[in-house]
Structure 1
Amino acid sequence: MTQSAQILLCPPRYFDLSYVINPWMQANFGALDPSRAARQWRALRRSLADLAELHELPAVAGLPDYVFTANAGLVFGKVFVPSRFRHAERQAEPEFSRAWFREQGFEIRTLPPKLIFEGAGDALFESETTRLWMGYGPRSEAAAAPALARLLGVEVEPLQLVDPRFYHLDTCFCPLPRGGLLYFPAAFDAESRLRIQAAFPADRRIAVVEAEALRFACNAICVDNTVIADGIADATEARLGHLGLDVLRVELDEFQKSGGSAKCLTLRLDVPSRNVLNGQARPRAAQSRAASQASTPSAAQRPLAKQAVSR
């Protein structure tokens, strides 16, 4: 029996554009319509409810960006690694996220003091593997890659982000089911682009154009064979269709004014999948430089009581 995807959201009760910490906020300061944002969030929630089991993180007054649950931290089986934010405006969030995950039975593992890491916004597991792709530059620090490899016992591939508009990895990089990728190449430095090209076959690697990237086409949620996002053009939808994937478009432009969209508003609680944690992942030929520095055994090999999501 196939288990439902597990997705965490946070209602936008206190969502607002009250400070500036990225170019999107700078360009749209004072232009947010909270009521319209709430309607868009409810529409996203309805769409996801047909595809997954949903969980809600209670909103917290004074934390307008808490709605972007992808930034709460990184989930690996039943382990939760809390974020440590670069900007003071978001540094109160992890206290509340840690408490929620602890109540849900997750093991909390923390990165070394002062190391900046902004959660699943900058760390995405490749489909059907325990390989973790981690963005660094505008927010997360490069040193978080080997630290995560040691903490979780997984491969970590660092990618340098060079465009401040794409300040988190999930704004320009979306691993697709069965080894595909949706991404915006210009958001990365040359070495990172080569690493991506080496890891993902050309026929499963879909590059979006800038106009799509600026509509957050890559900030997508993948549930089974469905890709949920705003901004995906017809040509890209056709290419996704050739990979056996359906596109579900959702309008989220109010959240894009703050620098986020569909993926930013969600956090998967069931990654990697049980099959991956049980050692049934498809094989990978390449090994990560960061993972070679890991000194702890693979988290996927530890007792399942510590690792597998039990629902």
Structure 2
Amino acid sequence: MKPKMLMCSPEYFGVEYVINPWMENQIHHIDRPQAHRQWEAFHRALSQQAEVFVLDPKPDMPDMVFTANAGLLVDGTFVLSRFKHPERQVEEPHFRDWFQHYAGDVAQLPDSIAFEGEGDALPQPGQDWIWAGYGFRTDLAAHRFIEQKVRRPVISLHLINPRFYHLDTCFCPLPDDRAMYYPDAFDADSLRCIESRIAPENRLLVSEEDAGHFACNTARVHDTLFMNHTSPALRRQLEVWGYRVALCPVDEFMKAGGANKCLTLVLDAADRPHTLHSAADQVSTSC
């Protein structure tokens, strides 16, 4: 069965304001035709392995294309985002309406608590816990709210590098109790927390170069990782672990602070047991 994912078409995508470091000096600098080509190529590749729902965009909401930030869907309960910045708060009613139709059960945080969806909340595949970031765009209080609503433990990780303002920009949980992450995005306590749950042989620490290309901002469907960019060394390690790397460049979207994971939201998690391929079975995939 194909997993289900949500995207939003990029008709109104652009950098119209600055709410993260990636947006600085990028206002009105998006190559819109190129952004459309990149989005279409990614959507086409993703649709081969997942059932992709496409949300209609709204005018004057240039970041709505980053559907990962809409909220978090776990076991039929959708926790709607409360965006930190007013520029994105206008998106909330549109995401709420779509998920009321799709999931029915929509939980809404108090207005005083910020939470930015899968941008800062990532379930560990095959486990019952959820990794959750805080420090820039999500409040720590949101983690307790999520625990109560979806009845899963939430593991809080403190983000300290403003360039990695969402958890999904610097951390990618993987099946078989593995994780790929950029250590310099976290404080010491958070690193110890990760290390307490992920064994040394299951940790893949990405370099500053790979992190800067949002290697951790990966959209996964079973054993395929849809990535904006990867160094040869990182790709080799992922292939040793049994993953197919599908390079789908989305550098126009990186000007707004997002890559492949930011452009998708998981509707039906692809974390059921499956067989990874050996490195000898790898098939090179690209967009």
TM-score by length of 1: 0.85
How much does 1:172 deviate? 0.2
Residue in 2 that maps onto 1:280: none
Partner of 2:184: 186
**What is the CA distance between 1:31 and its match in structure 2?**
2.1
User: Do the aligned residues in 2 keep the contact of 1:170 with 1:264 (CA within 8 Å)?
Assistant: yes
Q: Confirm or deny: 8 A CA contact 1:128 1:272 kept in the other structure.
A: no
TM-superposed CA distance for 1:220, in Å, is: 0.1
Count of residues in correspondence between the two structures: 273
**Segments of 4+ in structure 1 off by > 4 A?**
272-275
2:229 maps to what in 1? 231
Is contact 1:204-1:243 (8 Å) kept?
no
Which stretch of structure 1 is more off in the superposition, 145-154 or 247-256?
Answer: 145-154
1:90 aligned residue (75, 84, 88): 88
The farther-off stretch of 260-269 and 242-251 is: 242-251
Match of 2:47 among 46, 49, 63: 49
1:116 CA drift (Å): 0.5
SS at match of 2:164: coil
Cα deviation, 1:249-279, whole Å, max 9, x if unaligned, reads 111100000000000000010138578xxxx
Q: How far apart are residue 130 of structure 1 and its match?
A: 2.1
Q: Which residue of 2 aligns with 1:286?
A: none
Cα offsets for 1:56-88 (capped at 9, x unmatched)? 111011100000000000001211111001101
Q: Alignment identity in percent?
A: 42
Q: Is the 8 A contact 1:7 1:54 kept in 2?
A: yes
Task: Indicate whether 1:101 and 2:99 are aligned.
Answer: yes
What is the DSSP-based 3-state SS (H/G/I as helix, E as strand, rest coil) of the residue aligned with 1:264?
coil
Q: 2:30 aligns with which of 29, 32, 38?
A: 32
For residue 166 of structure 1, what is the aligned residue in structure 2? 164
> RMSD value over aligned CA atoms?
1.3
- 2:253 maps to 1:255: yes
2:133 to 135, 160, 174: 135
Q: 1:57, 1:8 → 2: CA distance?
A: 7
Structure 1: which 5+ residue stretches go unaligned? 276-311
What amino acid maps onto 1:232 in structure 2? T
Query: Residues 182-239 of structure 1: CA distance to partner in whole angstroms, max 9, x if unpaired?
Result: 1100000000011111111111110110111110100001111111111211111111
